Structure 1
Amino acid sequence: MEDNRTARIRAADADRERVATTVQTAGSEGRLTLEEVEERLTRVYAAKFTDELTALTADLPRPAPARPGFPLTLAALRRHPALRLHLAVVVVISVVAIVRWAVLGAGFFWPAFPMFWLAVSLLVHAGMRSVRERPGAPVPY
């Protein structure tokens, strides 16, 4: 038989810091008084087990999950060669269209239309990549 005390998980410094941040945030939002923050922080840093930490934030709301950011970033371009190739094609076609417009001397800037749709296609491609990278996303075959 397993004793209840042996089933407890010891808290790491990172666990204490995470809970301390939650308590401090609740204090700055006005959910806890200054005295409550001080008392809970004292208990956070004295905690030895994770269940003690959980009890200190049980009455506080959970933070909202992070929203995904803009899908076309330098990190995304570094991770995905297909995205870099798509960006290169968009740039080349845009430059060719602008040069042709300048050489022909057309008054109306018609390259804006194809450049817009090329940019939309690039953003959709990057957005689909970011959706596939999210945790729990289905793995493509």
Structure 2
Amino acid sequence: MEGTQTGRIRTSDAEREQTAEVLRAAMGEGRLPLDEGEIRMTAVYAAVYRDELTPLTADLPGRGLPALARTPERLALARRHLRGHAGAVVLVIGVLVAIWASTGAHFFWPVFAIVPLLLSVFKHAAVIRAGGTWESRDWHGHGPWSHHRDGFHAYHR
């Protein structure tokens, strides 16, 4: 009842764990000394409301998300997503070319779909090469628990 009276929103276990992941990545990167990181980790697991998590990553570049995106686990996940994306694009291109071939059309109309599809794969690969993930590409400057007009932004895994 207290949360609705104060306007504060309770945090979830997933949000606490997500913040802890960000702090672990920042400690691994050397941005937080271990003793300060441990103090913040204790505060993460003691947090009851979302607004208690925000200050724990506020002084990290990009609220700590760039460091999290560069962890080996996240990069492996990003590469798996890229392979899935590329596979789906190849499948769609194959279907479009098969339809074009079966219709006997002289003009190669699938090019209008193939070019944007291939560009999306190249852009996806460029985002990963730059050290990010496809899912994190529009998070610059705010955390996954930020409050926006449309509410809570969930972290994509």
- TM-score class normalised by the smaller sequence: 0.5 to 0.7
Q: What residue is the counterpart of 2:104 in the other structure?
A: none
Structure 1 alignment gaps of length 5 or more: 93-117, 137-141
Amino acid at match of 2:40: R
Q: What residue is the counterpart of 2:23 in the other structure?
A: 23
Identity percentage of aligned residues: 37
Structure with more relative contact order (C-alpha pairs < 8 Å, separation 6 or more): 2
Q: Residue 20 and residue 86 in structure 1: after superposition, are their counterparts in 2 closer, same or farther (change >3 A)? A: same
Deviation at 1:73, TM superposition (A): 1.8
1:127 aligns with 2:118: yes
Amino acid at match of 2:94: R
Deviation at 1:86, TM superposition (A): 2.9
C-alpha contact 1:23 1:37 (8 A) present in aligned 2: yes
C-alpha contact 1:10 1:50 (8 A) present in aligned 2: yes
Work out which of the two has the higher radius of gyration on C-alpha atoms and give 1 or 2: 1
C-alpha contact 1:71 1:127 (8 A) present in aligned 2: no
Q: What residue is the counterpart of 1:37 in the other structure?
A: 37
- Cα distance in 2 between the residues matched to 1:13 and 1:36: 22
C-alpha contact 2:16 2:53 (8 A) present in aligned 1: yes
Amino acid at match of 1:44: V
Q: Residue 70 and residue 126 in structure 1: after superposition, are their counterparts in 2 closer, same or farther (change >3 A)? A: farther
Correspondence 1:1-141 to 2 at 5 A: 6-62=6-62, 63-64=65-66, 69=82, 73-76=86-89, 80=92, 83-86=93-96, 88=98, 124-127=115-118
Q: Residue 28 and residue 123 in structure 1: after superposition, are their counterparts in 2 closer, same or farther (change >3 A)? A: farther
C-alpha contact 2:89 2:118 (8 A) present in aligned 1: no
CA deviation map 1:81-132 (0-9, x unaligned): xx33235479x8xxxxxxxxxxxxxxxxxxxxxxxxx9xx58524236678x
Amino acid at match of 1:38: E
Q: TM-score, normalised by structure 1?
A: 0.53
Higher helix residue share: 2
Q: Residue 87 and residue 29 in structure 1: after superposition, are their counterparts in 2 closer, same or farther (change >3 A)? A: farther
C-alpha contact 2:23 2:41 (8 A) present in aligned 1: yes
Q: Detail structure 1 runs of 4+ shifted over 6 Å in the superposition.
A: none
The aligned length equals 100
